[in-house]
Structure 1
Amino acid sequence: MDGIEIVIAHRARATLRAGDVFLKIDTDQARIDVEVAAIALAPIPTPRVLWRRPPVLALAAVPGRALGRLGRPSTASPAAWAAAGAAVRKLARWSLRALLAIRWLSEHGFDPAAPGCEIDVLKDRM
Structure 2
Amino acid sequence: MDDEVEVVVAHSERATLRVGDVYLKVDADRARVDVEVQAMALAPVPTPDVLWHKPSVLALAALRGTTLGRLGGTSTGTSAAWMAAGAAIRQLHEAPLPSWNGRAGRSVVTLAEELDRECRLLVAKGLLPAELVIRNRQVAEAAFRDWTPAFTHGDLQIAHVFLDGDEVTGVIDWSEAGQGDPLYDLATFSLGHEERLGDLLAGYGGHVDLEVVRAWWALRSLLAVRWLSEHGFDPFAPGCEVDVLKSRM
Q: TM-score range by the shorter chain?
A: 0.5 to 0.7
**More strand per residue: 1 or 2?**
1
User: Gaps (5+ residues) in structure 1?
Assistant: 103-126
| Percent identity of equivalent pairs | 54
Distance 1:44 1:51 in 2: 20
Q: What SS does the aligned partner of 1:67 have?
A: coil
Deviation at 1:73, TM superposition (A): 4.3
Does the CA contact (< 8 Å) of 2:69 and 2:76 recur in 1?
Answer: no
Cα–Cα, structure 1 residues 7 and 94, in superposed 2: closer, same or farther, change >3 Å?
farther
Q: Distance in 2 between matches of 1:78 and 1:99?
A: 34
- What is the aligned length? 100
Q: Once the two structures are superposed, what CA deviation does each residue of 1:45-89 show, in whole Å capped at 9, x if it has no partner?
A: 0001001222211001223x2134546645522212210122123
Flag the 1:100–1:86 CA change in 2: closer, same or farther, 3 A. same
Residue 100 of structure 2 corresponds to 100
**Equivalent residue runs for 1:71-110 within 5 Å:** 73=74, 75-92=76-93, 94=95, 97-98=97-98, 100=100
Is 1:16 equivalent to 2:9 in the alignment?
no
Does structure 2 conserve the Cα–Cα contact (< 8 Å) formed by 1:67 and 1:81? Answer: no
Name the counterpart of 1:53: 54
Q: Distance in 2 between matches of 1:69 and 1:43?
A: 23
User: What SS class does the counterpart of residue 25 from structure 1 fall into?
Assistant: strand
**What is the rounded CA distance, in whole Å, between the counterparts of 1:85 and 1:27 in structure 2?**
32
Which residue does 1:111 correspond to in 2? none
- Structure 1 residue 8: deviation in Å? 1.8
Q: Which has the larger radius of gyration?
A: 2
TM-score (structure 2 length as normaliser): 0.35
Indicate conservation of the 8 Å contact 1:49/1:57, yes or no.
Answer: yes
How far apart in 2 are the matches of 1:87 and 1:41?
14
Between 67-76 and 84-93, the greater mean CA deviation after superposition:
67-76
Matched residue SS, 2:66: coil
Q: TM-score, normalised by structure 1?
A: 0.64
Q: CA deviation at 1:101?
A: 6.1
- Deviation at residue 3 of structure 1 after TM alignment: 2.6
**How far does the alpha carbon of each residue in 1:3-56 deviate from its partner, in whole angstroms, 9 at most, with x for none?**
322222121211112222111001121111111011111100000100122221
Query: What are structure 2's unaligned runs of at least 5 residues?
Result: 103-249
**In the aligned structure 1, how far is the partner of 2:14 from the partner of 2:84?**
30
Give the conservation status (yes or no) of the 8 Å contact 1:38–1:99. no
CA contact (8 A) 1:67 1:74 kept: no
User: Could you tell me which residue of structure 2 aligns to residue 115 of structure 1?
Assistant: none
Specify the alignment match of 2:38 in structure 1.
37
